[in-house]
Amino acid sequence: MPKLKATLLTGRTIDQGTERERGKFSEEYRRSVTICEIDPDDMKRLGVTENDNVRVSTDSGSVILRAVKSARAPHPDVIFVPYGPWASLIMNSETHGTGMPLLKGLPAEVEQAPEEKILSLRELLEKHYKREHE
Amino acid sequence: MTVISHITCPVCGDFCDDIEVTVEDNVITDVKNACAVGAARFLNYATHRRTKPLIRKDGELVEASLDEAIRKSAEILADATYPLLFGWSSTSCEATRVGLELAEEVGGVIDNTSTICHGPSILGIQDIGISSCTLGQLRHRADLIFYWGSNPWDAHPRHIERYTMFTEGRFQRSTWRKYVSRLGGTVTEKRLQRTANLLLDHHPPTPIETGQGLPYTMFQKKRKMVVADVRKTRTAEAADYFLQVEPNRDYELLQAFRMLIRDGELDVEEVAGVPVELLEEVADVMIGCELGVFFFGLGLTMSEGRHRNIDAALSLVRDLNQYTKFLIMPMRGHFNVTGANVVFTWQTGYPFAVDLSQGFPRYNPGETSTIDILRRRESDAALVIGSDPLAHFPKKTAQNLIKNPLIAIDPELTPTTLMADVVIPPAYVGIEAEGTAYRMDHVPLPLKKIVDPPETCLSDEEILRRILNEVRRIRRKLN
Amino acid sequence: MIILTPKRSFTVPVGGECISPDTFAAKSTSEMANLPVWEGNKKRALGHLFRIELKTAPSESLTIRIRGDAGRIRRIGAKMSSGRIVIEGNAGMHLGEEMNGGAITVVGNAGSWAGSRMKKGTIEIKGDAGHYIGAAYRGSNKGMNGGAITIYGNAGNEVGCFMRKGLIKIHGDVGQFTGIHMKNGTIYIGGDSEVRAGAQMLGGKIVVLGRIPSILPTFTIDDIKSRVKIDGEKVEGPFYRFLGDLAENGNGKLFISQKQNTHLTPCERFL
Amino acid sequence: MNGERIDLYICDGKVVEKVDERKAKVIDASGMMVMPGGVDIHSHIAGAEVNAGRLLRPEDHVKDVEAKTAVTRSGVGYSVPSTFTTGYRYSRMGYTTVMNPSMPPLEARHTHEELNDTPMIDKAAFPLIGDWWVVLEYLQDDRIEECAAHVAWIMRATKGYAIKIVNPGGLEAWGFGRNVAGIDDSVPHFNITPRDIIRGLCKVNKLLNLPHTIHVHTNNLGRPGNYATAIETMKCVEDLAEEDNPVIHITHCQFCAFKGSDWQTLQSGAEEIAEYVNQHNHVTLDMGQVVFTDTTTMTADGPFQYGLYGLTGNKWVNHDVETETSGGIVPFRYRRKSHVNATQWSIGLELALLIEDPWRIYLTTDHPNGAPFTTYPKVISWLMSTVARKKMLKRISRRARRKSLLPSIDREYNFDEIATVTRAGQSKALGLKQKGHLGLGADADIAIYNLNPKTVDPSIEYKAVTRAFCKPAYTLKGGEIVARDGEIVKPIQGGTFWVDIKLSKPWEPSEDLKLKFREYWTVEYENYPISEDYLKASLPIRVEARI
């Protein structure tokens, strides 16, 4: 299966900004931040089309997101995921002595994941952040 | 029905203060002047808020009285050896003042969200200084607007309209008309191109040269806009010059600009994917302007180089002042993250990442900053206010956060409140409670109370004050 | 010799600035045990955290030996001016900060800011070290101002930040921004370097024996040298010599191994 | 004070004629020197630029910290102390009133927030008005009365105390990176000169009957040859004086008493300035003394600060405030061996010693520009002792020493004169009638120094004097003991003075102004003013204007 080695960027989008106002657990919010913007040519190479699920992986983990064409392309080898709990799953916490983890410009890999589903926020929390109890 | 004007908008760092809202029966029914995000905040804040405090018992969050929740919070903090108090950028300065007193009382580390947004900018400023201003200065005088690694169109939707390109100043006019006609031109051109492609079944279309500085700017003496970013954003599309930077290479580009400004020659053909010829042209525009401003965003602070990107940007702007007037400003995210820095600084001398565990302020991001403390798993309790670290911190740090007792003061249901041990929903500051907040350029403005909060909800300030008093009571009893 | 053995493992940071030959000198073990130490926000006695043994061996200088992991103990040997500290495990951040003499040896790894603002003395780290080795404090332009740091493993970003004098030798690899803002002194890197070595340097010397992905565009190639001198010793090259950082009007020297960096060959046309 | 022994009675925070001694608490201050609490007319302790200075200098804080105690908050010190530490340190030195001389009006709310967190002292802030667009527009059309009404609005809106003018016209020019060259240079884009601004606001000040005069930081500050500008500035309002009342305060005068054509030929202009001041009663001044140390310079004078960056290469902060003012910060180390710095040190003392009337020259370091305020006791020792001066003179740059006038000056201040330049004169100039003396009805703000003026000879025992002024035995504020032997024993809030100006006919801002507001500023008119309840302890001073 083809894999894309890419640079992962995260950031704000106006959708993420407005939809979060409907509540973090709303479906609208989930839809606005579980996307991965990929260059249209890269999508072809990966064999995915708009709205297909993809797996995005870094050295800190992986997450399933929905592929969308990045606007105003070309942006070869650059992928964009809006801030949010899904993007955080694959962020590295090393700050190199600055207090700031590398939240933009991480090396990442993208591959198609047609069988996988995008977790809901509750499922995500259940899976990755289960509370330990004494 | 009442209409209230001159409301400040508690969303982004632009902190617009001209919002008009309509209130009917204590419910906001209409919002004017706000951007989409601001309007969504005013209209939706109440739809998914919580009103009752919660305490985790036997693994489940159950409703509790406010007194119980306050007592439990105080116990957690009073017991801790290295508690962390995080958030502060979405609350009032008044609440932050009490928060600092609380942090000092419990001997904790207090940190605000700039630690993961513009913390690197502050580190840069501490090495270089900063040549900055309030936003009106730019509105009146700036004829060159440079956005680097920031996308106001999405993150600060009214920024361009209120403070830069599309605003009328004493010495500078708005470029709105120019933009509209150009946008029209571009759309028409694109449409023609598409039709031509369909008809002629040609090779792939050649990209239209809108951004690389030629047709529209040649005779333009008015305001100019330059955008440097790793992606072509909507903001970039509106620019006179767009520099598409290879990811993580901003530092090289900034330093190259500094060298060009000094009239130096570069030994290379391109820097960070941008041809040196274009850099030289833009450098000339920078030197030639009457007053230039350099806005930078998280594109610089969060990518490789971090504070050194800012170091280079601040140095570039400082150097430019030998030729013309040049100013620089970070695009701050939350409506009061600047205020959090301001209050931290006047009380402790340091703007974020302040360790008060030894009874006096210590500061060293990388050592005393939230992400590092959590990564190394040093803290043994935490209080989070007006922030959602579980949604936004890298996974490992967020996982470590919930390995210890966690108090969350937040009106909303968020991943953090869902995982906390104590949840106290406060009155929404800027809607249900008043206070002070600082715009991104350090201009302080009042947060307003527009509607009454639910009966069970106190302001952040009052909640913190009560926790502080309770901690002091516990301490007195122990002695 | 004084031997400190941690009585338990630590989670919260411990302020270890009292662990210094200067403080221990002429003190009895019970006096040492009473020295105040911060563990998080709790003020404790040193004896509460460590077993303290005094082994009277005729030695010319006072030696402190830490047996066990001191990875959470910060500022060990800060401001020390004489004597010796040996840490048999890891050392926490700010090891030997503002050191003014004496010697520190770490058998394991050391945290960030080791040797920051040091003026004299030597620090030897057998394992890896963190970031900001020999650096300045935030906002200050006064980094390491003398003495020597040797690291046998790797080091992180900003080695020698605002360095003014002295020698930093790293036998392994380093991260980005080695020698950022350095004014003088020497940094030797036996392994590979990440990008941006010498950024904003005003003077001094950085030698890279291994590979470096790229040289900043604000440096200019000036010569090819067959060898370079470090602290009196000759290191065989050949080396490209770059000057910079020109963005700062700097006059620093960057010696980059020619053999390891064939991708830099195109630079030679400017010679 | 002159060794006179008296009983002082205090009740409800005031000095009274007599109290019932059986019920009263008695402080035995025999053998000690009792003075009114210190008053500082010019010290940058709060607000946007001070806080930017704090943010800029972690390396300054780290060397001087204050841990929390049972009654006090923690903080950091040295050149830009945190707010609590500022209050404590002033109080521990026997000071009870401090004026913050530089408040950007748009950011006034910030200044007051910080003043609210500055305990132990009474305080006030002076809004920067000399480059305010609306003011410039009124003045260029000579509409003095309308301008006065507008300034009254500014004072109320910002809760200000006095009119501050910094490099008039120069800050507006700095908007485009330029400056003005002297008091008759024209201000770009306005039909006005610095002279017009100073004279206009001086007239406004008189019309409004403000308790303090205009408070002026002159043009060309920090430039060789600027003593002439300073004298012209004083001269330009000579005719506006009535009787012997001052109409202008020239602040941190040391920085504008430079003679010479460049840094190489720099010498003191103190003699010329002192000569003028000794012959004219319409002016008061403060020293702006330099002490050799590492400090942080900060002024609203953007172009001056940029020049200082150019000289030092140190990190530089600039902060322009739309339509109003600007500001800048540069860390600076004054070196004994620098001919320029040593000359500056000499100039400050020369001014204080050559100006005859201690009621018109006040002790300041323009904190933190010349040095932190904690160096005042050292400055006192130089004023009181030729021996102390000689000792320092020996250690400074030889070139500066050769040119210094100090060896030729024998004058030594006595304790009375010290009391005048550190409290009595300052409160008189500020129009604070209840401060700076211990007469009946005065505020019971008192400093008791462990020093017997009868037995100590300050000329020789200057070190004992320095010690005593560093750590008074008692500081009383409003009749309460707040500090003892250099320790805070009772934290108190301290109030904020502002002028509550009453115009003869009520003045409402015109619709025109409200419209202008939208045009000129980026905040709404309605969000600009600060309400009185914003001040934690508001101390309005009622003023009847002449208009």
Looking at the structure, do residues D517 and D454 belong to the same domain, yes or no? no
D57 closest CB neighbour out of C136, C139, C142: C139
User: Which residues constitute the domain of residue D332?
Assistant: 9-497
3-state SS, residue B326: strand
Nearest CA in chain D to C143: D59
Using CA atoms, how far apart are residues A98 and C138, in angstroms rounded to an integer?
11
Q: For residue C221, give both structure tokens.
A: 């190639």
Q: Is B357–C196 a contact, with Cβ atoms under 8 angstroms apart?
A: no
Nearest CA in chain B to C111: B367
Q: Which residues numbered 106-145 in C keep a CB inside 8 Å of some CB on B?
A: 112-113, 131-132, 137-139, 141
As annotated, the residues of chain B forming the CATH 3.40.228.10 domain(s) are 119-330
Question: What's the burial of B57, exposed, middle or buried (CB within 10 Å: 0-12/13-18/19+)?
Answer: exposed
pLDDT of B210 over the 90 cut: no
pLDDT tens per residue across span B130-169: 999 999 999 999 999 999 999 998 889 999 999 998 888 9
Give the mutation candidate from C10, C41, C133, C158 for the B interface (greatest B CB count, under 10 A). Answer: C41
pLDDT tens per residue across span B259-298: 999 989 998 999 999 999 999 999 999 999 999 999 999 9
Q: Which residues numbered 183-222 in B keep a CB inside 8 Å of some CB on D?
A: none
Q: How far is D106 from chain B (nearest CA, A)?
A: 7
Give the residue-averaged pLDDT of A68-92: 93
For residue A10, which residues of chain B lie inside 8 Å, CB to CB?
302
pLDDT tens per residue across span B419-469: 999 999 999 999 999 999 999 999 999 999 999 999 999 999 999 999 999
pLDDT of B195 over the 90 cut: no
In terms of DSSP bridges, do strands D361-362 and D283-286 run parallel, antiparallel, or are they unpaired? Answer: parallel
For chain B, give the mean pLDDT. Answer: 92
In the sheet with D496-502, reading across from the earlier edge strand, the strands are: D38-40, D95-103, D122-127, D496-502, D538-544
pLDDT of B211 over the 70 cut: no
Residue C217: partners with Cβ closer than 8 Å, 6 or more residues away: B252, B255, B256, B259, B266, B267, B268, B271
Q: Which residues numbered 59-78 in A keep a CB inside 8 Å of some CB on B?
A: 60-61, 70, 72-73, 75, 78
Which class does domain B119-330 fall in? alpha beta
pLDDT along chain C (271 residues), means of 10: 95 96 92 96 96 79 93 97 96 97 98 98 98 98 97 98 98 98 98 98 98 96 95 93 95 97 94 87
In terms of DSSP bridges, do strands A106-112 and A3-11 run parallel, antiparallel, or are they unpaired? Answer: antiparallel
Residue D279: partners with Cβ closer than 8 Å, 6 or more residues away: none
For residue B45, which residues of chain A lie inside 8 Å, CB to CB?
21
Looking at the structure, do residues D69 and D107 belong to the same domain, yes or no? yes
**Taking Cα atoms as reference points, which of D56, A12, A35 lies closest to residue B14?**
A12
Burial D333-345 (b: 16+ CB within 10 A, else e): ebeeebbbbbbbb
Using CA atoms, how far apart are residues B329 and B316, in angstroms rounded to an integer?
13
Domains, chain A: 3-128 (2.40.40.20)
Q: Is B443–D66 a contact, with Cβ atoms under 8 angstroms apart?
A: no
Q: What is the 3-state secondary structure (H, E, C) of B344-361?
A: HHHHHCCCCCEECCCCCC
For residue C176, which residues of chain A lie inside 8 Å, CB to CB?
96
For residue D373, the domain's CATH number is 3.20.20.140
Position B71 confidence tier, pLDDT thresholds 50, 70, 90: very high
Q: Residue D21: its pLDDT value, please?
A: 83
Axis-axis angle for helices D133-140, D511-520 (nearest 10):
130
pLDDT tens per residue across span B232-249: 998 998 899 999 999 999
Burial D185-221 (b: 16+ CB within 10 A, else e): bebeebebbbbbbbbbbbbbbbbbebbbbbbbbbbbb
Contacting chains of A (3 CB pairs or more, <8 Å) are B, C
Largest CA distance in chain A: 52
pLDDT of A14 over the 90 cut: no
Is residue D193 in a domain? yes
Residue B423: partners with Cβ closer than 8 Å, 6 or more residues away: B50, B53, B54, B55, B61, B69, B407, B408, B409, B410, B417
Angle C91-C94-C100 (CA atoms, 0-180°, nearest 5)? 110
**Number of domain units in chain D:** 2
Domain boundary among D497, D512, D531: D497
Count of pairs with CB atoms under 8 A, one residue in A, one in B: 188
Is residue D3 in a domain? no
Looking at the structure, do residues D272 and D158 belong to the same domain, yes or no? yes
Q: For residue C173, give both structure tokens.
A: 């690899």
Overall size of chain C counted in residues: 271
**Architecture of the B50-117+335-428+455-478 domain:** 3-Layer(aba) Sandwich (3.40)
Q: For residue B415, give both structure tokens.
A: 């991943």
pLDDT tens per residue across span B356-384: 999 999 999 999 999 999 999 999 999 99
User: Which residues constitute the domain of residue C102?
Assistant: 2-203
Q: How far is A95 from chain C (nearest CA, A)?
A: 10
Is residue D1 in a domain? no
Q: Which residues of chain D have pLDDT under 50?
A: none
Neighbours of D152 (CB within 10 A): 23
Q: Residue D3: its pLDDT value, please?
A: 62
Residues D282/D360, Cβ–Cβ less than 8 Å: no
As annotated, the residues of chain B forming the CATH 3.40.50.740 domain(s) are 50-117+335-428+455-478
Q: Is D522–B163 a contact, with Cβ atoms under 8 angstroms apart?
A: yes
Residues C68/C81, Cβ–Cβ less than 8 Å: no
Asked if B459 has any chain C CB less than 8 Å from its own CB, the reply is: no
Give the residue-averaged pLDDT of A20-27: 89
Asked if C132 has any chain A CB less than 8 Å from its own CB, the reply is: yes
Q: Residue D5: its pLDDT value, please?
A: 81
**Number of domain units in chain C:** 1
Give the residue-averaged pLDDT of A110-121: 96
pLDDT of B217 over the 60 cut: no
Is residue C219 in a domain? no
Q: Is B131–D318 a contact, with Cβ atoms under 8 angstroms apart?
A: yes
Write the DSSP symbol of residue C169.
E
Using CA atoms, how far apart are residues C97 and C76, in angstroms rounded to an integer?
8
What H or E segment, with its residue span, contains residue B385? strand B381-385
Q: Residue B222: its pLDDT value, please?
A: 80
Is residue D4 in a domain? no
ipTM: 0.97
Q: How far is D112 from chain C (nearest CA, A)?
A: 27
Q: Residue A134: its pLDDT value, please?
A: 46
Q: Is C218–B108 a contact, with Cβ atoms under 8 angstroms apart?
A: no
Q: Residue D22: its pLDDT value, please?
A: 85
Q: Please give the full DSSP string across A38-73, using - where no structure is assigned.
A: E-HHHHHHHT--TT-EEEEEETTEEEEEEEEEPTT-
Residues B111/B352, Cβ–Cβ less than 8 Å: yes
Position B197 confidence tier, pLDDT thresholds 50, 70, 90: low
**Taking Cα atoms as reference points, which of D425, D538, D423, D520 lies closest to residue D475?**
D423
Domain boundary among D464, D481, D497: D497
Nearest CA in chain D to B101: D73
Q: Which residues numbered 179-198 in C keep a CB inside 8 Å of some CB on B?
A: 180-181, 196
Is residue C221 in a domain? no
Residues D177/D143, Cβ–Cβ less than 8 Å: no
Chains A and D make contact, 3+ CB pairs within 8 Å: no
Number of helices and strands in chain C (H, E): 3, 17
Please tell me the pTM assigned to this model.
Answer: 0.96
Q: Is B325–D176 a contact, with Cβ atoms under 8 angstroms apart?
A: yes
Count of pairs with CB atoms under 8 A, one residue in A, one in C: 14
Looking at the structure, do residues D448 and D510 belong to the same domain, yes or no? no
